[in-house]
Structure 1
């Protein structure tokens, strides 16, 4: 779970710079819109006097003027709303893209601790809320604040003392709105945290529904879901309760203030300090104040909720990124596939050393198997080769070049991973194999043939056939063969296999193994071996224990040593005589 960090909407202002033309025109529309209100107040005062005095001949032209001003106002309002909407949405889009781009650059330890449901909520609901708040700030809050100032200025021009009396209530209203806003912010953060937890639970539930039913645990899951939605209901109700309380409290103060002003205005007319038409205009302007105050109050609450969302989005900026490329990276050129580890030290934290003084040399075109218990360092070695992590000491060399001096993307184009559990994105089969790298249809088909996948691809309707979400229309063997094709389509020099057949039946495994044998030809291959029967023909087998290579050699050489490897073979009922 990400901890919300401090964030301010003003930090997003530089993102609006490139949209200065519609913002400038929209600002002009705002000014026209605001200026029309004191004009309408003046016209309304004259109209009320004409109607109250029975002067019909004066009322008609006044109404015509009012209609003209009202038409200009509404045209300006349409202009500001439409012109300012697009920049706000584009900035929201840019913010979401920037956050997603950063998400792709986080270190894997940072990614692994994050909830997928929580991240999905932040990049959808939180990002939408931030966009809505930015739009309201520009097209609603800004005009409302300007209108408030213009109307107060006009009222001061009509009667300064009366306006000063009107402003006596302002500090009380501001303090109340501020207090309610702080409470809404806290309640919104709690509510959004509850929604994130709910999204995370839903992601787990959908992904694990097969397991839930297999263990008849539906009631347990239903109870967990009920507790989550009840927590969300209570947190959400607290936010709504605060907003519901704010409106009548502030509204009562506004009503009381208006009645007091009417009484004071009557007294000033009685003393001759103010004329009737002037007070009519003043009263209309006073009523006009209610709308911008109401908008600012409501928008302030939404602003606080949006601030909570922005803080949750900005929390991603506190997470560590993978190391950047070097300032003057080396160029790989034609890669032969020689791999060398020199005195490599690596630890995940200060109390958990894994590799200490690890040395290894792999000749080009060789097949090397990594065996050992869970936690021995096999997957960590793959992570170091892919530069997902970097060693604290020592060097890892590819064809004599330090991986730390290469561009990560160029390095990863020469290393291809076939994971044990093949994750495929939805889309066409061609898109799945290409994986956004721009390979030609010929290269994609050649990779599929190499992976022994073309037969079932054609049976599905060809390379344009779609893979459904979560690959529900593919078998395990088909997924693995597409993963092999995806790995070899770019003709990488090194192939990293996290034994891709350990969860398959014998017949399916034979088809996948055939694809693997084709894919391994002419490449350096490192295999994480869970079942030793699959790597007996490896050129070299490395036995790892707690980050140390305790044995190495061929299958027969290691058996003759009667050490750890021989013990593992006996445990898996492999003939050792």
Structure 2
């Protein structure tokens, strides 16, 4: 099989769904809606953060065991981390007890703590007595450095273990995210090959590329930066809250005020920023589409002197992207300062109430000091959650665009009981076929046509008459609305698309070559072809004439879609590809439009040999190239208005004769 993919679609299977307009919609030139001067924009879908976020997280189901392990490691890391402040509070009590004990060195040896407190109460200093009642000191004795050193060593060990568990958690989570996005890319790639041709007709290539590359990369980055930290923050909140209640239920209740304040502030800000993130990624996709199309038609833009208009359109779209990006980052960036403000307010309240509890003897200094650390550990993850909101919203906005691609309507699947395609004779028949790209604009109505095996059928007519549409229907890039198309008496809708296309070879007016050697490009339709078969096809298509002038011959690597060979030479390469594929049915869509007159004569001779014994459909504008066709169809507005041989149609003096005379007259005027 040769060039079987229209220039407006990638090299995957097409389909039978309907585009909003004719199939050239996404490939219009610099003056049309699809080129640098105008572009068809995709419809905007309302943002739905919750469902999209749940769907994104749902893609982690295949990593359940790893996620559970991450949760266990995170819980262990948090547990060891939150024990630290409690031990540091005990260390503070040891230091403070030693400091208090040194204040009573003037008392007789053997004086007890109870005697000191009783003496203070007798003196009327009840506040100091209450303070000392919760301090485990020995009058006259200083700081117990041995106990203090042991305690600090335990704290150090706990933090080291917590850090190791945190590192392990992050390492595993990065693997989970990488595998998840890997699977997402695979799903997108598989989806693209199941999409109908109409999808690619509607979707600008730059927009599609933006979803496949930029949006998926943004999803991966957002997950990598938030998932592990999000889990760690939630576990930290739970663990710290438990130790806070253990230390002081009163202070814990005060700290809990942070949670509703955090939720309210985050919701109010996130509600405004999510729309900005959706707009940001939509504008980025549109800008990429505009850039890709402008660069593709760069030469044409220069020829017509429209670069200033292209630059103006770029500047306008870039300004829209800047405004959306700035708004999204600014609005979401308010979350973290707001969370820090709330946390500082709670910190002040806890410090004041804690001081009162110390003076009343309800809590020790070490316990309040530990609680203040816990309050910082409690507000810090809440602040982190706020700071991650912009990343989450950006990632979910990108995920929503990717999900729109994954949810797009697919081509009609092949019949489960599809008939196997056996030896193909090449009899094609159109029976009362009707087709329209858009329901309100019928293109083909009640078309009847029979191409017998071995016949060469030429299709001519003005632009927009439906010639290429006829080929698209034959290849099952689209299916007819009514009627049927048969190959050897079998409805093509009952055949597997790939088997149908394997039996057909196609050479397009717009050549397509990939980055590879000339040999690989010729063998694209038959990768198992032997070297002598490749060389024979190259000689038959007159590729061999120019290949030897290239630096590496058949091993010359084509660059940038064949930029290092001429347009005519690229056309010859696609024709050689058709020779090698040995199809049963051959479709030539203006296959010699880019070759010079002398080469055209040689190629026509080669085409005659290639068409021998094969059913061939030739779309041609130069009528001189189809004089020897067995059957010529003249199409206008989707209908066949005339059919016959070259000579019979000229004698009839109808539409074909007028086309032929117009070309002949034009040539005569040019010669004069």
- Fold shared by both chains (TM-score > 0.5): yes
Whole-Å separation in 1 of the counterparts to 2:525 and 2:63: 31
Q: Is the 8 A contact 1:45 1:278 kept in 2?
A: yes
Residue from 207, 210, 213 that aligns with 1:118: 207
Per-residue Cα deviation, 1:145-170 (whole angstroms, up to 9, x for no partner): 11111111110111112111111232
Q: Is the 8 A contact 2:254 2:346 kept in 1?
A: no
Residue 29 of structure 1 corresponds to 73
Q: How does 1:485-504 map to 2 (within 5 A)?
A: 485-504=576-595
RMSD, aligned α-carbons: 2.1
Q: Is the 8 A contact 1:3 1:312 kept in 2?
A: no
Whole-Å separation in 2 of the counterparts to 1:365 and 1:31: 74
Q: Is the 8 A contact 1:370 1:541 kept in 2?
A: yes
Q: Is the 8 A contact 1:2 1:316 kept in 2?
A: no
Residue 295 of structure 2 corresponds to 206
Q: Secondary structure at the match of 1:463?
A: helix
Residue 244 of structure 1 corresponds to 333
Q: Which has the higher contact order (CA 8 A, sep 6+)?
A: 2
Q: Is the 8 A contact 1:447 1:485 kept in 2?
A: yes
Residue from 444, 454, 457 that aligns with 1:368: 457
Q: Is the 8 A contact 2:431 2:448 kept in 1?
A: yes
Q: Does residue 1:327 correspond to 2:371, yes or no? A: no
Q: Secondary structure at the match of 1:496?
A: strand
Q: Secondary structure at the match of 2:423?
A: coil
Q: Secondary structure at the match of 2:446?
A: strand
Q: Is the 8 A contact 1:50 1:59 kept in 2?
A: yes
Q: Does residue 1:311 correspond to 2:400, yes or no? A: yes
User: Could you tell me how far 1:174 is from its partner in structure 2?
Assistant: 1.0
Could you tell me which runs of 5 or more consecutive residues in structure 1 were left unpaired when the two chains were aligned. Answer: none
Displaced runs of 4+ in structure 1, greater than 4 A?
Answer: none
Whole-Å separation in 1 of the counterparts to 2:455 and 2:45: 49
Distance change >3 Å, CA 436–CA 277, structure 1 → 2: farther
Distance change >3 Å, CA 267–CA 125, structure 1 → 2: same
Whole-Å separation in 1 of the counterparts to 2:208 and 2:82: 48
Per-residue Cα deviation, 1:346-375 (whole angstroms, up to 9, x for no partner): 222322222222111111111110011122
Q: Secondary structure at the match of 1:466?
A: coil
Whole-Å separation in 2 of the counterparts to 1:434 and 1:386: 21
Number of residue pairs the alignment of both structures matches: 576
Whole-Å separation in 2 of the counterparts to 1:263 and 1:413: 81
User: Could you tell me how far 1:404 is from its partner in structure 2?
Assistant: 0.5
Q: How does 1:160-559 map to 2 (within 5 A)?
A: 160-435=249-524, 438-442=527-531, 443-460=533-550, 461-559=552-650
Distance change >3 Å, CA 575–CA 230, structure 1 → 2: closer
Moved more, 566-575 or 507-516: 507-516
TM-score (norm 2): 0.82
Q: Is the 8 A contact 1:3 1:315 kept in 2?
A: no
Q: Is the 8 A contact 2:56 2:399 kept in 1?
A: no
Residue 157 of structure 1 corresponds to 246
User: Could you tell me how far 1:428 is from its partner in structure 2?
Assistant: 2.2
User: Could you tell me how far 1:510 is from its partner in structure 2?
Assistant: 3.5
Q: Is the 8 A contact 2:427 2:452 kept in 1?
A: yes
User: Could you tell me how far 1:437 is from its partner in structure 2?
Assistant: 5.6
Whole-Å separation in 2 of the counterparts to 1:418 and 1:137: 50
Per-residue Cα deviation, 1:113-139 (whole angstroms, up to 9, x for no partner): 111111111111111111223334431
Residue 3 of structure 1 corresponds to 44
Q: Is the 8 A contact 1:127 1:309 kept in 2?
A: yes
Residue 76 of structure 1 corresponds to 165
Per-residue Cα deviation, 1:188-244 (whole angstroms, up to 9, x for no partner): 112222222221121122112212222233322222222222222222111222133
Moved more, 401-410 or 218-227: 218-227
Q: Secondary structure at the match of 1:471?
A: coil
Q: Secondary structure at the match of 1:216?
A: coil
Find the structure with the greater CA-based Rg. 2
Distance change >3 Å, CA 190–CA 101, structure 1 → 2: same
Whole-Å separation in 2 of the counterparts to 1:393 and 1:212: 42
Per-residue Cα deviation, 1:473-513 (whole angstroms, up to 9, x for no partner): 11111111111222343321111111122243323434543
Residue 45 of structure 1 corresponds to 89
Distance change >3 Å, CA 492–CA 2, structure 1 → 2: farther
Q: Is the 8 A contact 1:467 1:473 kept in 2?
A: yes
Q: Secondary structure at the match of 1:335?
A: coil
User: Could you tell me how far 1:25 is from its partner in structure 2?
Assistant: 3.2
Q: Is the 8 A contact 1:435 1:486 kept in 2?
A: yes
Whole-Å separation in 2 of the counterparts to 1:225 and 1:375: 31
Distance change >3 Å, CA 169–CA 480, structure 1 → 2: same
User: Could you tell me how far 1:468 is from its partner in structure 2?
Assistant: 0.6
Moved more, 184-193 or 435-444: 435-444
